[in-house]
Amino acid sequence: MQKRKLGNSNLEVSAIGLGCMGMSFSYGPAKDKTEMTSLLRAAVERGVTFFDTAEVYGPFVNEELVGEALAPVRDQVVIATKFGFKLDPTGEKKWLGLDSKPENIKRVVEASLKRLKTDVIDLLYQHRVDPSVPIEEVAGAVKELIAAGKVKHFGLSEASAETIRRAHSVQEVTALQSEYSIWFREVEEAVLPTLEELGIGFVPYSPLGRGFLTGTIKADTKFESTDFRSSLPRFAPDALKANSELVELLSEIATSKNATVAQIALAWVLAKKPWMVPIPGTTKLNRLEENLGAADINLSKQDIEEIEAAASKVAVQGERYPEALEKMVNR
């Protein structure tokens, strides 16, 4: 597996990482712990060194899974986790809003360190920007944690260009994690130029459009009530029917490259900038191997133009989040 550095930092990771959320959270019931432990270790054996989790995934159980599975190879991997949600102590609801107050950040880090079975978090993201706490205070709290040796690198998620600049002026931001794929390119307008200017790495989540760009989701696909895609406007039946045209166009390109649609979607991200590291998630070994195969696909400038020309013919239908969640991004 090829390696990449996130921006100007010294944080080097595999060119493709592994998003671990779906193993415990959001995409139906939590998967079998033994099976997921085997999958995580199989990823390491295949050269993956970058693993993404968060306290809210579960909550808590995904960090526990990742920490336990990777403990035997802890010195070989980079673990990223996140803070920023106010979690319901009763467990009745997953979360009660946002909380990036410095005292909460420090409390969360102590708990995450225990669950991850480690003495330092390699990359700590603010999961969502909290409008009630100045980003300078957030960056300052993480700066103190870095000085204390409990965190190595600071990251943001779904932050605007202005917020990134303000945070970076207090504590160097190593990486931004936001949604990005051939299906969703909003960050190209202001965010990506800012990252390039400041030397910040980019970690696209959902580079396969939450499974849509694998070609396995059809207009009549039904999602379980425990699968959060059942509530996403972009995955409503009418939207899926309209959006399927994009997959059909990408399928033609994939066939010409002797690749799958998913591999072309990931190869497109990898070809955009050398400081981008996508983190597709999966719970299946064959899908993991398929995704990692994208690193061996070299797309030319002409290939990129062809893919983007095909994508431009399709007006994607449906917002990516319900209104309440949409308000938590790009701020």
Residue 57 appears among annotated catalytic residues: yes
Give 194's DSSP letter.
H
Give 284's DSSP letter.
-
Encoded amino acid at 253, one letter: I
Which residues, 6 or more positions from 312, have their beta carbon under 8 angstroms from its beta carbon? none
CA-nearest of 260, 261, 279, 257 to 270 is 279
Dihedral pair phi/psi, residue 75, rounded to 5°: -75, -5
Place of tokens 């308000």: 327
Q: Which residues pair with 153 in a beta bridge?
A: 123
Question: What is the C-alpha to C-alpha distance for residues 123 and 115, in angstroms, rounded to an integer?
Answer: 15
Contact status, residue 178 vs residue 151, Cβ threshold 8 Å: no
Place of tokens 């039904």: 222
- Given the residues 57, 125, 180, 205, select the one marked as catalytic: 57
Which residues are the active-site residues?
57
